Structure 1
């Protein structure tokens, strides 16, 4: 675990800690994929009498997402009521529900948010698309364009993924072509991959081969 392991060793040798130290170690474990350790430390922190704050809960939600622990994530959500206007926590809640496959919870949380940014919208669009609700994902993209922030790189991955899984070749190609022109986004390997998948799923094998052999696709594959 490298630096995280060394920090944890030092932390374990401390007689007492403070909330900043607890958050640093829990956050480090969660960010590095050591989600079980992050949750174990969170439980130890609670037993030691330290109250969780925004930083703690964001890291714990990230750990729940990594382990797909929906029920534990719901318990954590119950702790964040007093931070319900915190955008970072709300985005972490959305991400957790979407990646745990609980779209109803995600939609409820999204509607309750007093503030939404491009991460909020992109998380919902991608979550809907990856959970078999492509048309709703594209409807949400239209709502985002009408009243939300400007789409970014991740937003367009979700949009193209939705088009691919819904078999919407013309729509997918239109969105792909508009990325640079409307939003200043240079297509990356994820976007090219979605288009190849879209053409393959639609049986457009000759077009898929042409696109796959294009110079831009090859360049992005090497990046």
Structure 2
């Protein structure tokens, strides 16, 4: 397992006290595996320090304002290219089948295209295959990195590291189309409601499914994937 991607998945998930307690372990994983260059790991230190020393409620509020109340920063990747249309549902079915083909079922409440879920999955792949999967989403990740950089948030370092790993470029037509969209105002709830007024895609894992308990150092966070049963 490439635990670096599991660590990055944890950093992009909704903050918890378990995450705060695991920050020293995350530092150790990032440094030991050397999947990311040193400068990328150093750039993440402000975020790691914020998690480690910040008030959990303040950290959670900032996360919600960024990722849950700003459509253009959504971590649900297909939302950026399919919106809430039916094409997104089909794309998620295909992605879920990719997970299952490798022997994993989705057991989290998040959708298959949620970036932390994708990172959990690619953590189980050989490094070359992991890169290929991120390359496919490279233009979205690059656009997210740029938007987060504009907002001067320490989360930008995580998306920038993923974008660089995937060798993604902002110069493609696809990435330019994404970053040309006007940034949402997370404080404008009326505008946010208008964006989501269309019917939401109803797709997800079995709500009765449980999460496995892992011996992994990051098992304090809920794992969104589990080995499929025959």
Q: Check whether TM > 0.5.
A: no
The higher relative CO (CA closer than 8 Å, separation ≥ 6) is in 2
TM-score, with structure 1 as normaliser: 0.26
Structure showing greater Rg: 1
TM-score, with structure 2 as normaliser: 0.25
